[in-house]
Structure 1
Amino acid sequence: MPKTHLNNYRFYLLVAFFSISLLCNGQEKSTAPIPLITFLEELENKFQIKFSYLDEDLKDFQVKKLDSDNLKDILTSLKNQTNLSFLKLDDRYYSITSQNITICAQVFDNFMQSTLPNASVQVLEPSISIATDESGTFILEDIPRKAVIEIRHIGFKPLFITAEDLIKKGNCSKIPLSQIYQELKEVIVYKFLTTGILKQQDASILLKTKDFGILPGQIEPDVLQTVQALPGIKSIDETVSDINVRGGTNDQNLILWDGIKMYQSGHFFGLISAFNPYLTEKVTTIKNGTSAAFGDGVSSVISMETKDELSDTFYGGGGINLISGDAYGQIPISDKLGLQFSGRRSITDFLNTPTYKRFYERAFQDTEVNSNNPNPDEFIRNEDFYFYDFSGKLLFDVNDTHKLRLNLIAINNFLDYQETNTNTNETTQSGLAQTNFSIGGNLNSFWNADFSTFLNVYYTSYNLDSQNIKLNPSQQLYQNNKVLETAIHLRSNYVFSNLISWENGYQFNEVGITNFTNVTQPPYRSNIKGVIRTHALFSEFTYASENEKFWIRSGARLNFIENIDTFKKLLIEPRLNLNYELAEDVTLELQGEFKNQTTNQVIDLKQNFLGIEKRRWVLSDDNTLPVTQSKQASLGISYDKNKLFIGLEGFYKFVNGISTSTQGFQNEDQFNGEIGKYTVNGLEFLINQKSKNLSNWFSYTYNNNSYTFETLNPQKFPNNIDIKHTLTFASTYTYENVKLGIGLNYHTGRPFTKPQENNAVNTSTFPYTINYQSPNSSRIKDYIRADASAVYDFKISERIDASFGASVLNLLNRKNTLNTYYRLNDADEVETIENISLGITPNFSFRIFF
């Protein structure tokens, strides 16, 4: 080819390349969408015109520019792209308004696996209703752009979406609906005592703190005080840290906070609950017929659950009473993330209130010797005491089917105490630090409409440090009790139908406990450590009949328990819970269970900490303290009609593997550590009449509670907490914003052991000891206490509610003896120690809610 032609050829190729490039760039420029408002401003400058519109109507539109000098063509293009109406007002002004549109969409399940025919599609305004066709598709014509559309289908959560949002999704967009997952739940049988307390079909009691009304003596829904209003649940020493369920000791209660086991439950030596009730959404109390998912706690389960749903607004509150102040709230971080918090601190270290004075007298009274000390005021005391607790919860909804929760709680008690005897000039300095810190997380997953899983992992730490230093003469005592526990709990639930579900699971717990003691005079040092690991498999079925007359939950738990130093044990625990409607309004209930626990509390009664009873957690070793095992059965019948509830329940409980060191013996057997068992049989009766504003109830509990220790003489005698008869009468009244409550509590006295009348001191041994009568052969005088409370709710503003409460414990100021025991003084004389109940104790509170 000639060179000239070649150069021309190259020139034409170069021109063609640049032309194509410019054309492509021009097309990209012309087709790239820009904000509609930006394009309108360009048109106003180009054609010297003005558009009238609302920014809110146009701000979300993106359009493609039409490169033309013909305004009419441009406006036609914009109308086709946006479905907006462009109206010419005169030669200069144009108005732009939204116009009705046509939309198309196809409805799927949330896994996009199948379409949903016959789904209900409703335009809320104007009211238009249609249904999706066989392919799950619907078309709506001539509806406003801002119209809200509600889409519903049986078994799925309703969805609300605007017509404009559907247009943005494209032509005939796909809409997923989230399935509603439902397990077989225990339905509510009866609401009794006060609002917010509910009896469920499995005979457990549910406390919903948000709906809580009022109980005599209470102005706040204190979790562990409230459960003591139920038949069969009492504290014989008026504390929340020593709750006795059907004759059991407090360490035989499994206390859970969001699935985490709690080893400390109270403040102020057990007089106040350590859990903030205003973020605790519900509390479930189970006395028998426990689900196989729960291990531990041979007497009961008390399970607290904090609020578990995200909120799109901030809410919270706070308050103060004569003991402490607190605040709580939930902060929405995003539509999938939220944060809960609560905090409380005592005011007792800088404000000496009448309530604190009564609590102080109750907690420290054991230093007052009643029989041989003519001057009980001979001691000079100085104390610095305070407590606080804090909890937090992070809520994260990963998506519609997975919910992640992270929880933590910290509970702390601190005391510095100095006591000087003005007669002997003997000074004792003591200190106590008691803490519980727990952190955990759980993942709740719904894999489809029938199958769900729940994973719970936690770590909890309990620590008790105490010291007792006597300066004249010099003696130092240091003690420590530490508990560390880690756990994994996995369970699954499969719903075969509306009538049958099947739950299975696995639980692993590792508990390590250390007990350290160091005494300088006489020299003594002890450091005992132990670890127990427990693997458990459980399975249970739940069935409910179609006519709702019969309900049953039955299963079993297989436990492999290993103390790494001493033993291995395999235990099988059957569980049964049955409810049957015998006739209209008459229901029969049957529960039974086998349970075990490997942690117990020994009670140190050597008076080495100012006479204050100290409890220490210990592990079973299958020797000095075996694994505690229980068998329990109960049968009840109830009548519920026209706001009247009558219930009668008989029960039998057998607990084996207890020790005199865990039962609080206060006689010659208190330090022996003998192994035995106890048996309880009894009746619980409740009658409750309710109207719209008034609730009256009367409850009666009979217990026959006895020990058997084959190595003691006699072998069988009354249990230390054998309370034969317990009666409660109470009434609450609500009128508009005022709540009133008044009640009377009575129970027969607990057993105790007296010294022998003519031979009280055994001088044949050194050191001398007390010669006691037959164990628990005497009884304390009967206990009677009247309480009253009142709460007034009012509004401060549209968003802020408030309440003012007042209560009085022991309204009659009756001096009730809670316990009596004996010890030898320095002159080897028998001294009588009496624990006296709280005197008349007023309290006031002010709270706000927003």
Structure 2
Amino acid sequence: MTRTTLSFLYIVLFFFSSLTVTAQINKETIPLVDFLKQIETKHNVTFSYADANIKGEAIILPPSGLSLTEVLDYITANTNLSFETLGNKILIIKKEALKPSKSFKTQYLEEVVISNYLTKGISLNNDGSTNIEPESFGILPGLIEPDVLQTIQSLPGIISVDERVSNVNIRGGTHDQNLMLWDGIKMYQSGHFFGLISAFNPYLTETVSVSKNGTSAMYGDGVSSVIDMQSSNNISKKASGGGGFNLINGDAYAKVPLSKKTEIQLSARRSLTDLIETPTYDQYFKRIFQDSDLTNNQNNSSVSKDERFYFYDTTLKFLYDLSKKDKIRANFLNVFNSLNYKEQSRVNDVDEELNSNLTQSNLAASVDYTKDWSSNLSTSIQAYVSKYNLDATNFDLINNQRLIQENQVYDNGIKTKLNYQFSDNLKLKSGYQFSEVGVSNLEDVNNPVFRSYIKEVMRTHSLYSELHVASNSQSTKLKIGVRGNYFEKFSKTHIEPRFSFNQRFLSNFRFEILGEIKSQTTSQIIDLQNDFLGIEKRRWVLSNDHTIPIIKSKQLSTGIRYNKNGLLLSAEAYIKKVDGITTRSQGFQNQYQFVNAIGNYKIRGLDFLINKQYDDTSVWLSYSYSKNDYEFKNLNLGNSFPNNIDVTHALTFAGTYTINKFKFALGFNWRTGKPYTKPEANNPSTGGTINYASPNSSNIEDYLRTDFSTTYTFKVADNTIAIAGFSLWNLLNKKNTINSYYIINDEDTISKVENLSLGITPNFSFRLRF
């Protein structure tokens, strides 16, 4: 660690020490939603409510030691809310109307099974999905801000084998097998800093829903998971916003009601990386640009480089309520990354300077119209477009060569939805989706002259229908649906049934079964490891029903949970098979690197979690076991072998602690190393070719990382609070190898290349919210 970094850490620690001395215990007003979550944990009850009924509500904390009945009476006396008991410890919150209506009918909403799962702002639903609310986010080890794609990695069964949010592996799948939606629009870029930071500003994201199995039939694509991000759809009563900075970027956001019927929401974030270098930037730079064109020639004294890197994102949303029953929403998002660097070299006594660059962007826009025909029937329609670009120009001064590469995706379509509630126990969701996706790829070389441009287009028509059934006591929940996809180009139809079943028994136990069949026509492949400067190697492609088939998956899981007095025990077993994958989509760096074959992978796994929560503490231990194997008929004599991202054992032990205005989090992450292939011991190479052993028959060393984070919240004005945060990623500075492979040199010798994880990485943030 450098002297500058040490000085920085001392300053931050001194800052927090000073805050500790001045911290005071005051009677405070907190958001009602936060108080309700405290009650759920303390008294082992579950609240069911419409978000609009408690949105913006706050309450002064009552005296400690009150019984559940006394607490509910206190809330009723200080708000216009009342409570109705349903079944076993389920409390429905109702907002009292100014004029009681005899026709009032209680609406039973989707039940939250477990709130404050691991930390504040994360909850489990009865359909097996997980909800994350960034606005209510507590704290997690290594995180001081609610980075969406970092946060979901705290959930069992979700990891990133190379620490990048652009490579999130959910139950053994590759990142392109995750359907990522922002306000209903499919996103093809998910990371800033080429994968180390989520590309989605969390401060205008109201909810994030993560489904690993039993996905709703309304979703197409995403054979591994669905990550559905939604911003607020309700017009606020007053303006709000905030802003802040950390050692990588600064941002600001605002929600501004223009009238009782209109509102504008906007956010902007930009990196500071091209303006100031920080210890965080230094570590990020070493991690993401290692083994790339930017750093591979550093040993060549005739080449010098000067890089400039930055990123930004902006969002804009316009809300217009035509009437109480008619609403229009317009959305816009722009995500952008840019890297430029100059190469200077002296060739034949002539000084040359050329500029290589890489840009990555995703533009998304949509218009939504929703109509409530009655209290039981509503419909909506959305028109959307998503455009992704990855462009690189690479100059090779030594070989006098220029390479241009482009990958573009243009996705547009229409979605319609119908929701009808027959009764409190039965509701129907149906809809239609049309999508047109065009993907193009360009390669242009000047020496020798070569140009290739390929464009494919796919049109898909989809119909779905889904029933939600619940027993009178709400102890039994069943969601069953089917989706039909018609692929116009291939004249093929694919039927995809989905279901989830949840049963509460013995008061504190829940049993669930989830299942789904899914398909997707877009995927990412790697042609060469040095494509796009060796940084963003993957390019999007469309299925052609021949060399790149439609990817299809089947998954079944079953689990049991016990939840009482703040103690949660959870175990879930699953089996998943994904057909139609290609070797080019898996990133092989062994004997199969240049082979084009079609196969499948099958994963069997078990996720276990124990989480104990107190009023101010949450401690959890999660463990995942999985066996993930490939099967390619034409490779390895048809025998199965370990998946490139097979991680057999993964364990996390972590905890959070809150005292007064401080929050602390500490966590340990351990997992077995992923597979790789060694050369044969007795005959490693022949004639400039590496002779490999059995594919993926070795494993890199185990991965171990310790993270720490803390935040301090204080009031700076009547309507303004400040949050200061400090984190240390990889606190012990463990040198973890995240990838290993071999190359052959000009001298016919073999060298081993190892990519390392982030070293100790400090970060500091300061935010204002009003």
Tell me the TM-score normalized by structure 2: 0.84
For 2:721 and 2:516, the matched residues in 1 are separated by 45
The alpha-carbon distance between structure 1 residues 497 and 741, as it changes in their structure 2 partners (threshold 3 A), is: same
Where does residue 845 of structure 1 map in the other structure? 765
Q: Partner of 1:695 in structure 2?
A: 618
Asked if 1:406 is matched to 2:312, the reply is no
Distance change (3 Å), C-alpha of 1:837 and 1:497: same
Is residue 436–residue 460 contact of structure 1 (8 Å, CA) maintained in 2?
yes
Post-superposition shift, 1:426?
9.9
SS at match of 1:774: coil
Q: Which residue of 1 aligns with 2:265?
A: 340
Q: 1:324–1:344: 8 Å Cα contact kept in structure 2?
A: yes
Whole-Å Cα distance in 1 between the matches of residues 551 and 570 of structure 2? 31
What's 2:441 paired with? Answer: 515
Q: Is 1:247 aligned to residue 172 of structure 2?
A: yes
Question: Could you say which residue in structure 2 is the equivalent of 1:481?
Answer: 407
Structure 2 counterpart of 1:747, one-letter code: R
Q: Deviations over 1:575-594 (max 9, x none)?
A: 11000113220110100000
CA distance in 1, matches of 2:414, 2:292: 44
2:13 corresponds to: none
Unpaired segments ≥5 residues, structure 2: 1-79, 85-92
Any idea what the Cα deviations from partners look like across 1:454-499, whole Å, max 9, x if unmatched?
2222111001110111122201100000000112111111111100
Q: 1:521 to 1:591 in 2, by over 3 A?
A: same
Query: Percent identity of the aligned residues?
Result: 49
CA distance in 2, matches of 1:433, 1:452: 42
1:186, CA displacement in angstroms? 3.8
* Residues 1:628 and 2:548 aligned together: no
In structure 1, what is the equivalent of residue 488 of structure 2?
562
Q: Which residue does 1:431 correspond to in 2?
A: 357
Which one of 295, 307, 323 corresponds to residue 248 of structure 2? Answer: 323
Distance in 2 between residues matched to 1:576 and 1:225, nearest whole Å = 28
Do 1:491 and 1:505's aligned partners in 2 also have CA atoms closer than 8 Å?
yes
| Counterpart-to-counterpart distance in 1, 2:762 and 2:661 | 22
How far did 1:178 drift? 12
Alignment partner, residue 771 of structure 1? 691
Structure 2 partner of 1:733: 657
- Whether 1:586 aligns to 2:506 is no
| Counterpart for residue 73 of structure 2 | none
Which letter does structure 1 place at the counterpart of 2:449? P
Q: How much has 1:183 moved relative to structure 2? A: 6.9
Question: Residue 363 and residue 419 in structure 1: after superposition, are their counterparts in 2 closer, same or farther (change >3 A)?
Answer: farther
> Cα 1:568–1:671, aligned 2, differ >3 Å: closer, same or farther?
farther
Q: Does 1:754 align with 2:678?
A: yes
Pair 1:442-2:368 in alignment: yes
Paired amino acid for 1:633? L
- Change in 2 beyond 3 A, CA 1:637/1:422: farther
Mapped partners of 2:115, 2:135: distance in 1: 17
1:277-316 pair list within 5 angstroms: 277-316=202-241
Q: Which amino acid aligns with 1:822?
A: Y
Partner of 1:393: 317
Deviation at 1:755, TM superposition (A): 2.0
Seen in structure 2, the aligned counterparts of structure 1 residues 796 and 190 have a Cα distance that, compared at 3 Å, is: closer
Is the CA contact 1:420–1:427 (under 8 Å) kept in the aligned structure 2? Answer: yes
Tell me the distance in 2 between the aligned counterparts of 1:427 and 1:759: 43
CA–CA separation in structure 2 for the residues paired with 1:409 and 1:608? 27
Contact 1:159 1:177 in 2 (8 A): no
**1:823-843 Cα shifts (integer Å, max 9, x gaps):** 234444323221100000000
- Displacement of 1:367 in angstroms is 4.6
Find the aligned partners of 2:199 and 2:631 in 1 and give their Cα distance.
35
Deviation at 1:291, TM superposition (A): 0.6
Partner of 1:237: 162
Report what 2:76 is aligned to: none
| Deviation readout 1:563-582 (Å, 9 max, x if unpaired) | 3xxx2211101111000113
CA contact (8 A) 1:369 1:831 kept: no
Deviations 1:574-626 (A, max 9, x none): 11100011322011010000000000000243324443241100000010100
Task: Tell me the amino acid that sits aligned with residue 212 of structure 1.
Answer: F
- Against the structure 1 CA distance between its residues 332 and 180, is the aligned structure 2 distance closer, same or farther, given a 3 Å change threshold? farther
Shift in alpha-carbon separation, 1:762–1:427, aligned structure 2, 3 A: farther
CA distance in 2, matches of 1:612, 1:401: 48
| 2:525–2:586 CA contact under 8 A, matched in 1 | yes
Give the direction of change, closer, same or farther, for the CA distance of 1:520–1:179 in structure 2 (3 Å limit).
farther
Residue 133 of structure 2 is matched in structure 1 by 208
Change (3 A) 1:702 1:151: closer
Q: 1:195 to 1:347 in 2, by over 3 A?
A: same
CA offsets, 1:20-64, max 9 Å, x none? Answer: xxxxxxxxxxxxxxxxxxxxxxxxxxxxxxxxxxxxxxxxxxxxx
Q: Distance in 2 between matches of 1:151 and 1:705?
A: 50
Matched with 1:658 is: 581
Whether 1:784 aligns to 2:704 is yes
Distance in 2 (alpha carbons) for counterparts of 1:156 and 1:730: 36
Structure 2 counterpart of 1:831:
751
Alignment partner of 2:574: what SS?
strand
Match of 2:24 in 1: none
- Distance in 2 between the 1:596 and 1:151 partners? 45
Residue-by-residue CA offset, 1:769-826 (whole Å, 9 max, x unaligned) = 3222111111100000000000000011111110100000000000000001122344
Please tell me whether residue 531 in structure 1 is matched to residue 451 in structure 2: no
Residue number in structure 2 paired with 1:14? none
Q: Contact between 2:210 and 2:225, CA under 8 Å: does it hold in 1?
A: yes
User: Counterparts in 2 of 1:119-268, with a 5 A limit?
Assistant: 182=107, 184-268=109-193
What is the Cα deviation at residue 313 of structure 1?
Answer: 1.4
Q: Does the 8 Å CA contact 1:157/1:179 hold for their aligned counterparts?
A: no
2:343–2:397 Cα contact (<8 Å) kept: no
Which residue of the partner structure matches residue 476 of structure 2? 550
Q: Which residue in the other structure is 1:598 paired with? A: 521
Structure 1: 5+ residue stretches without partners? 1-149, 162-174
Q: How does 1:101-116 map to 2 (within 5 A)?
A: none
Match for 1:313: what amino acid? Answer: K
Aligned to 2:466: 540
Deviations 1:149-175 (A, max 9, x none): x999x99986669xxxxxxxxxxxxx9
> Secondary structure, in 3 states, of the residue corresponding to 1:673?
coil
1:179–1:317 distance in 2 versus 1, CA, 3 Å: farther
